[in-house]
Amino acid sequence: MNQLIAVKSAKDILPEYQKTPIALLLEYHNFNLSFQIHQIPQLIIGTCVDNRIHLRVPPNFAYIARAGGANMRNSEFKISYAIALGNVKNMVLIGHNHCGMSNLKERKDLFIQGLIKTAGWSVQQAKEHFAQDSPGSEIGNEVEFILSETKRLRNLYPKIQIAPMMYLVEDNQLYLMNEK
């Protein structure tokens, strides 16, 4: 996690994000900036479905796409919609530490037993589901994944400013990422 940049004051916001909706998100969330009224969304937020992520944003400020591990594959059409029809030019991709989509193989047995007990699946159904779908959901290292997913999305949307961030569940803060 040494690639994380703590954002404790406005001077910690990287120059490329100053005076953008990305900086405003950091100010709302990390600094408890009073909410402004937003008539239209300024930002696309891509983040994980994890219930521990609580972002402090005002109404109408952002489109929010949630997917396990902040893996935006299969969400491109929704992102494209926000860009094309919402005219949104900025995006953040927010991963978090202790993500359940990291190192899925370690939780394979728990996953299978949970589907059997909670959903009423057979052992075979649960095993096949894990075998078929876990490879596309596995993100590996959270920081490395967010950096690679940011790069992929930048290639897909070259005119959109996309910032990689991490949310630490221990302190409920957003961190920028050093991409060097």
| Same-domain status, 118 and 173 | no
Q: What is the pLDDT of residue 29?
A: 98
Do residues 44 and 116 share a domain?
no
- Mean pLDDT rounded to a whole number for the chain: 96
Query: Quick one: which H or E segment has residue 94?
Result: strand 90-96
Residues 40 and 112 in one domain: no
Q: Domain residues for 55? A: 4-102+140-177
Buried b (16+ CB within 10 A) or exposed e, 11-28: eebbeebeebbbbbbbbb
CATH code for the domain of 21: 3.40.1050.10
Same-domain status, 121 and 98 = no
Q: What is the pTM of this model?
A: 0.94
pLDDT of res. 1:
58
Closest among 30, 28, 25 to 44, alpha carbons compared? 25
Based on the fold, state whether residues 39 and 74 are members of the same structural domain.
yes
Q: pLDDT in tens for each of the 180 residues of the chain?
A: 579 999 999 999 999 999 999 999 999 999 999 999 999 999 999 999 999 999 999 999 999 999 999 999 999 999 999 999 999 999 999 999 999 999 999 999 999 999 999 999 999 999 999 999 999 999 999 999 999 999 999 999 999 999 999 999 999 999 999 998
Total domains, the chain: 2
Do residue 15 and residue 83 come from a single domain?
yes
- Are 60 and 76 in a shared domain? yes
Q: Are residues 48 and 14 in the same domain?
A: yes
The dihedral through the CA atoms of 41, 163, 140, 76 has a sign that is: positive
Token pair recorded at residue 1: 């996690």
67 and 19 assigned to the same domain: yes
Which residues, other chains included, contact 110 with Cβ-Cβ below 8 Å and sequence gap of 6+? none
Q: Let me know whether 21 and 68 are in one domain.
A: yes
